[in-house]
Amino acid sequence: MSSLTPDALARDLGIRPDEKLPKVSDMNARALATLTRNATPPGSFVDLCPVHLITETSLSTIATAMGVDHLEARRFRPNVVLAGGPPADVLPESAWPDTALDVGGARLRVVMRTVRCVVPSRAHEDLPVEAALTRAVAGTADRYLGVYADVTTAGRIRVGDTLTITPPTPPSPTRRLARRGRVLALDSANRLIEMFRRD
């Protein structure tokens, strides 16, 4: 993304004037602070975190919304594509922020859901332009698809490894209150930005 100004963000994400920007309160504060100063985390060439995961289930959900049989994971540039999961869970990784993922010999901590710009809809090598993709992700997954994760324990991941998801420890009452205050403040800022965007 070229900038974090509201207009540039809307352009990069393919957001029309009558659509809302993603909620800042849904995003990781450390990640946002990094992106306000740098295009990528210093010393790296990754979007936000070293690992980007997406599930075949979520890809199938978006494909169904588009009315196609299959959606190539390559469009979204993940490091890891995960198969399986509960059939009723149409976007399983959307519930993973702050969880620990054990896969193969590695342990990952999910930082945040991945906000999607228009890039996956563009032509990728042998893949043609897919104009309906951005709208399908916006309408079905609220512009999020996949998750970013940090590596807490390095290890090898192989095809066929199983995934274990460990939920985060519940926050203390003080942290819960602080989070509520943060969400309220950020959501208020979002509403102000939307007001200025529409003027």
Q: Which residues pair with 100 in a beta bridge?
A: 109, 166
- Residue 95, helix vs strand vs coil: helix
Assigned domain for 1 exists = no
The enclosing domain of 64 has a CATH number of 2.40.33.20
Assigned domain for 29 exists = yes
What's the pLDDT at 2? Answer: 44
Assigned domain for 174 exists = no
What's the pLDDT at 198? Answer: 61
- Residue 172, helix vs strand vs coil: coil
Contact 53, 80 (CB under 8 A): yes
Assigned domain for 95 exists = yes
Over residues 7-60, the pLDDT tens digits come to 776 776 677 777 777 766 676 666 665 655 555 555 555 567 889 999 999 999
Assigned domain for 197 exists = no
Domain that residue 38 falls in: 6-169
Walk along the chain (199 residues) and give the pLDDT tens digit of each residue: 445 566 776 776 677 777 777 766 676 666 665 655 555 555 555 567 889 999 999 999 999 999 999 999 999 999 999 997 766 679 999 999 999 999 999 999 999 999 888 889 999 889 999 989 999 999 999 899 999 999 999 999 999 999 999 998 887 888 888 778 877 777 777 777 777 666 5
Closest CA to 115 of 35, 183, 195, 191: 35
What's the pLDDT at 66? Answer: 95
Assigned domain for 21 exists = yes
Assigned domain for 104 exists = yes
Q: CA dihedral defined by 22, 23, 29, 31, rounded to 10 degrees? A: -10
Assigned domain for 190 exists = no
Eight-state DSSP code of residue 93: G
Number of domains composing the chain? 1
Model pTM? 0.76
State the maximum Cα–Cα separation within the chain, in Å, rounded to a whole number: 52
Tell me the Ramachandran region of residue 154: left when phi exceeds 0, alpha when psi lies from -120 to 50, beta otherwise.
beta
